[in-house]
Amino acid sequence: MKKNNIIKIVISIIIMLLLGYLAIFGLKIGDKTIIKGAKDINTGLDISGGVTIVYQAEVEDGQEITPDDLEKSKTVIQNRLEAKNIYDYIIRVDSSTNQISVEIPTNTSDTSVDPLSAVEGLDRTAVIQFRDSEGNVLLEGEDIKSAEYSDDPVDSTGINTPHVVLTFSDEGTQKFADATEKLVGQPMPIYLDEECITSPYVNSKIDSSTAIITVGDGTYAERKAIAEEYAMLIDSGSLPFNLNVINKEYIGPFVGQYALDISVKAGIVALIVVCLIMIIAYRLPGVVSSIALLMYVSVLLLIISNTGISLTLSGIAGLILSVGMAVDANVIIFERLKEELHKKVAYKKAFEKSFKNSTSTIVDGNITTLIVAFVLYLLGSGMVKGFGLVLGLGVVLSMFTALFISKAILKQFMPLANKTTFLFGLKKEVENNEA
């Protein structure tokens, strides 16, 4: 072997080790995470636990729900979750059944967030209205630009008081001024979903773009919780229709974490066994496929951890299955190579022919699997969707690994075929007989 070949082989091994290290531990500089590792992978409900809830849109007689209504509802629910500082969620809309599903995984590193309490209030219509004593609507949700929680003092006592600060739009500001001028000396009830939450008296006309909703009875903690909920509901906007809960499930994190540990151990054992079988069966090409396979697994883990893909147990199954398909591609190539070497074809020509003749077979086999993975991701939900996503990503990456990475590394070893084909999977007696 030439010195240049040895250098390329050493570089390949160094790259494999570097990718493996990054895939497991990631890369941090100081307190800043540059590259996320396996421990930073987001996990789905079946692993981390959490709550999944399905809402059914309730329509009145003659009412029609449009796709725009469903998308608006999705946005409102999204705003309400983010107002509770929850960002790791999945919201799906099914326009054929007018259903909306919400999944909130448990964040095991932040036990302050309870997924069960997180879904409270998501289905409230949250229609806010300012009315007069006769029930006439003076202002409503579309006149309010924003709503924020505050506990700053609202009077001269200096006592912290939980309340909601409403900011009106330009049109809402004018409506508020007209309403307060009309209702001087009278109450102006404020309703939220047909429930009167407060009824302040108007002492004079108010030319202000803001208004305050205070919470009356209860302890400070109770009033704070109510004010925060009001602010969240009003600021997120109102739903265009009522939502009824038709299914609600809570999954604890302990069973999922145990299943994750078992799946990871099974995957590691499977990877080791596959590498050993490839080395025993194909010898030197088996070593090459093991190097490429470890690169493949490392890159796949890096992609999953750094793109925010939520990994489920079915996704892990898809990952392990894609490993098998990556090996399958190598088996096809190496069998072709053995056939060419058995025919005493020159090693350079044998190398090129084995990859050329195998490419169409590998691509055809993987394309069919890729189509299935795409359909599962497109039409599936939950764990089925996760399986399709990881499987499809793994198939694409495995084809690249087999057809390019394995080829580049194996090419450096091919000069050894001039000395002995035993290193390439042929039996000694066959080699001697053909000599």
Give tens-digit pLDDT for 118-146. Answer: 777 888 888 899 999 888 999 998 899 99
* Range 295-318 average pLDDT: 83
Q: Are residues 159 and 110 in the same domain?
A: no
Is 243 domain-assigned?
no
Tally of structural domains, the chain = 3
Q: Cα(358)–Cα(292) distance, rounded to whole angstroms?
A: 17
Q: How many CA atoms lie within 13 Å of 181's alpha carbon, on the beta-carbon side? A: 8
Instruction: Answer with the one of 71, 95, 120 that is the final residue of a domain.
Output: 120
Is 161 domain-assigned?
yes
Supply the mean pLDDT for the chain.
83
Segments forming the whole domain that contains residue 54: 50-120
- Whole-prediction pTM value? 0.60
Q: Cα(210)–Cα(208) distance, rounded to whole angstroms?
A: 5
* Range 178-184 average pLDDT: 93
Q: Are residues 35 and 105 in the same domain?
A: no
Binning pLDDT at 50, 70 and 90, where does residue 178 land? very high
Is the pLDDT higher at 254 or at 34? 34
Q: Are residues 37 and 54 in the same domain?
A: no
For residue 211, the tally of other CB atoms under 10 A from its CB is 22
Is 406 domain-assigned?
yes
Is 241 domain-assigned?
no
Q: Are residues 340 and 390 in the same domain?
A: yes
Q: Are residues 139 and 85 in the same domain?
A: no
Conformation bin of residue 255: beta by default, left when phi > 0, alpha when psi is -120 to 50: alpha
Model pLDDT, residue 136: 92
Model pLDDT, residue 221: 87
CB contact set of 423 (below 8 Å; sequence gap of 6+): 283, 284, 413, 416, 417
Q: Pull the structure tokens for residue 220.
A: 């400070």
Q: Pull the structure tokens for residue 403.
A: 């057809």
Binning pLDDT at 50, 70 and 90, where does residue 427 land? low
Q: Are residues 111 and 170 in the same domain?
A: no
| CA neighbor of 115 nearest in space, from 79, 149, 92, 90 | 90
Least confident among 14-18, 310-314, 387-391: 310-314
Alpha helix ranges (H) inside 88-219: 115-118, 170-182
* Range 341-363 average pLDDT: 85
Is 375 domain-assigned?
yes
Model pLDDT, residue 138: 93
Model pLDDT, residue 431: 44
Q: Which residues pair with 210 in a beta bridge?
A: 167
Q: Are residues 275 and 223 in the same domain?
A: no
Binning pLDDT at 50, 70 and 90, where does residue 358 land? confident
pLDDT at 254 over 80: no
Q: Does residue 45 contact residue 118 with C-beta atoms inside 8 Å? A: no
pLDDT at 403 over 70: yes
Q: Are residues 330 and 392 in the same domain?
A: yes
118-141 burial, b at 16+ Cβ within 10 Å, e below that, comes to bbebbbbbbbbbbbbeeeeebbbb
Model pLDDT, residue 61: 67
Is 259 domain-assigned?
yes
What percent of the chain shows pLDDT beyond 90?
16
Least confident among 165-169, 249-253, 387-391: 249-253
Q: Pull the structure tokens for residue 72.
A: 């608006």
